[in-house]
Structure 1
Amino acid sequence: MDFDFLSPVDGDLLDEISNLDRQSIGANIKLHTAEGGIPEMDDVQVAIIGVKENRLSSNRDDALHFYNIRSSFYSLFPGNWHINIADLGDIERGAEVEDTYFAVQSLVAQLVKKDIIPLILGGSQDLIYAQYRSYDTLDQMVNLVNIDRKFDLGDADNPISNESYVGKIVINKPYNLFNYSNVGYQTYFNSQNEIELMERLFFDAYRLGEISADISQIEPVMRDANLVGIDLGAINAAAMGHGLHVSPNGFDGKEICALARYAGISDKVSSFGIYEYDSRYGSLGNMLVAQMMWYFVEGVNFRTNENTISAKQEFIKYQVPVDEDILVFFKSPVSGRWWIEIPFLANVNTKLKRHTLLPCSEEDYLEACNQVIPERWYKAKRKNEV
């Protein structure tokens, strides 16, 4: 793998690690250092990457660094994990933003092909565009889940920014996007035009209040994701503890960590990014980000690998007649999780065959038994027909 554009972890952090408990994450993580170079990656499952790019953000931190997040994360103790983590250091700003995108795209693609999950610590959230473009060479349609108070569709005719990158994902070739799900949007931060566009594109959107009332409904959404991004602006100001966060509403610390764990435990999520970080955050914000990272890795450790053909052969099948359709549900006898079959048409792109089973909840099955068609099933079926 090509790691030429990565700078090593700050040497001062190595001094901190030497004083940590030998059971801490910092004492056991593999590090890219100036002296030792890139660590051996053969047995690594999660790789941390910092990306010092935020030039397309309106509120940018010109001295962006990830020292304090790393210090907080290294100080934590792992759970009962069997996961090897590497910290590969940082991708510095390129001469142009596009140069940074290229480095992110290249590195993420290489890691995903090696079954190593990149955990990206980013500046501005337009970096999701580069994270998404990493899948161009992987020959698959992509489901993107974005935890954000805004849809970030923007005006696709204008240059890309941290508030318009989703529009670029939708219109720019190659067309790899199968579904976009926004988790935690707040209506007053989004125009009615964007809300209507989300509906016309059959994308999924979940309001903050709806999720806070029952956060478990997002587990099936995460289970169907290939890449996940979190905008730290989706967290309320009290949880982040810094004046840069001006919104009193948003996810609290417990909720955002639960969402990070759902992303980690999903068998399909192959890259994960935390964006809109600002190194001016205080100790409270840095520790919360570190705990989000911790919960993501915790989720990865407890994956059940139910995406395999052999695992699916053990699923229990249920058929439910609803109007003129027969909805086919599957339940895992191991995890108790549910899926619903999407009837794909014979003349569509064969890449979509990977999405024939759509994760759902037991509640979706029970509602179907009461003759209510799950909305996500309907949207997925409509996307296949248009």
Structure 2
Amino acid sequence: MNLKLFFKAAEKIDGLHESALGNSIKQLNDESLDITKTNLAIVGVTDNRGSSVNLGVNGAADQIRKKLYKLKKGHRTYRIADLGNLHNGDTYEDTMERLREVCEHLMAAKVTPIIIGGTHDLALAQYLAYESKKDLISVLSVDAKLDVEVQGDSNETFLSKLITHKPNFMFSYNHLGHQGYLVESGALTALDKLYFESLRLGELRENFQNAEPVVRMANMMAFDITAIRAADATGNANAQPFGLSGEEACQVMWYAGMNEKMSSVSIAEYNPDLDDQHFSTAGVVATMVWYFIEGYYNRKDTGQFNSDQYTKYTVSFEGTDDTMTFYKSKLSEKWWMLVNYGDKMMDRAYIPCSYEDYTTATHGDFPERWIKAQGKLI
């Protein structure tokens, strides 16, 4: 694929400090750019036809870049490309198809797309890019709402299309940060019946670390900044008075970057037309991208659970022959649990979990996360 046919190169940002992140990002028109030797690729989207309300999202990508490039780089050797902004199609469906093709191409080259700009429904194109992989994947959405409306703009209805798409290659859909008064109760009931996992804003407030295993389960993440409270992200026509703080949004992105399975992320719904004079919301989104990048370059776990990098724990249940197996990484101290759903060695899955899941098992109860995983696998 000739990526130059799909993109308009990003405008040059002058006056960068020597230590600025932007100096470590190769541009699309850089002759030395070899996408196959890149780890991460920034993909800007300028199409705003997914919403009749938040129309200013077409300027999001360029404004985010202005903030992102000025942030300081870490000590790692970065292999990051900025492909610029995707050319809009004649129709919105054409834009979605182009984004799908680009994401599919990048992931086939082991490059993780970081999609900035546009509306949340672009996550559907992001998801469809996985169809050719022939593997079951887990999807994570971070949003104050569940976009399963029957009528309305594309960014309000796309989630139903994603969940019901045929052929079905989604192992799990999980949701973080929704607010009960913005979500139909029937929608949450439907998710529960499908053994999907969701953590509302109040549950995150009780213990934010509960978000980490949910993020670690995902192969792709779509972050709608409507999940961030208006005080920290005013540049959004759908902004809500309550929500995640900017710091918590960055924590989610750090978790996502650290997740070895995470192979694409998107951040949508930022509208610079509604931002303050300092473009503070752009600064929040740019910092979120920075945390994802840093998390990516701090990945530790190999997923080789039979190696000496992991400690194995077997929990027995009194009065039965039942046992549960847990693994703890010696490098990151993260936990996984083994879920068997057949008689063969291949019929098993290693599910991200928390220390609390392990302690629940030691007290004689099956963790809810194990029950849901069993329900999905059978």
Do they fold alike, i.e. is TM over 0.5? yes
Task: Show CA shifts across 1:227-280 (max 9, x none).
Answer: 011001000010014473542100011100000100000000000100112131
Instruction: From 224, 227, 237, give the equivalent of 1:244.
Output: 237
Determine the structure 1 residue equivalent to 2:146.
151
Shift in CA distance, 169/159, structure 1 to aligned 2, threshold 3 Å: farther
Cα distance, 1:57 vs structure 2: 1.4
For residue 139 of structure 1, what is the aligned residue in structure 2? 134
Amino acid at match of 2:78: I
Q: 2:52 aligns with which of 55, 58, 65?
A: 58
What is the match of residue 66 of structure 2? 71
- The structure 2 residue matched to 1:111, chosen from 106, 110, 132, is 106
Counterparts of 1:4-23 in structure 2 under 5 Å? Answer: 4-10=5-11, 14=12, 16-17=13-14, 19-23=15-19
Q: How far 1:200 moved relative to its partner?
A: 1.2
Task: From 264, 271, 278, give the equivalent of 1:278.
Answer: 271
Query: Residue 351 of structure 2: SS of its match in structure 1?
Result: strand
Q: Distance in 2 between matches of 1:334 and 1:226?
A: 21
TM-superposed CA distance for 1:37, in Å, is 6.4
Match of 2:350 in 1: 357
Contact 1:179 1:203 survives alignment (8 Å): yes
Q: Please provide the CA RMSD for this pair.
A: 2.2
Among all aligned residue pairs of Structure 1 and Structure 2, give the percentage whose two residues are the same amino acid. Answer: 32
Alignment of 1:1-386 (within 5 A): 1-3=1-3, 4-10=5-11, 14=12, 16-17=13-14, 19-33=15-29, 36=30, 39-61=33-55, 64-65=58-59, 66-155=61-150, 161-242=154-235, 244-280=237-273, 281-282=275-276, 283-307=279-303, 309=304, 312=307, 314-322=309-317, 324=320, 325-345=322-342, 356-385=349-378
User: Which residue type is aligned with residue 334 of structure 2?
Assistant: R
Distance change >3 Å, CA 302–CA 187, structure 1 → 2: same
Is residue 223–residue 359 contact of structure 1 (8 Å, CA) maintained in 2? Answer: yes
* Alignment gaps of 5+ in structure 2: none
What SS does the aligned partner of 2:127 have?
helix
Q: How many residues get paired?
A: 371
Cα distance, 1:85 vs structure 2: 1.2
What is the identity, as a one-letter code, of the residue corresponding to 1:118?
Answer: P
Structure 1 SS opposite 2:23: coil
CA deviations 1:277-298 (Å, max 9, x no partner) are: 2131231101001000000001
Please tell me the residue identity of whatever aligns with 1:183: L
Give the partner amino acid of 2:159.
V
Return the letter of the residue paired with 1:340: M
Please identify, of 315-324 and 95-104, the stretch whose mean Cα deviation from structure 2 is larger. Answer: 315-324
Distance 1:311 1:123 in 2: 42
The two structures have a TM-score, normalised by structure 1, of: 0.90
Q: Is the 8 A contact 2:45 2:58 kept in 1?
A: no
Offset of residue 159 of structure 1: 8.3
Q: Is the CA contact (8 Å cut-off) linking 1:120 and 1:274 kept in structure 2?
A: yes
Counterpart code for 1:215: F
Secondary structure of residue in 2 paired with 1:75: coil
Q: Return 206-215 or 254-263, whichever deviates more.
A: 206-215
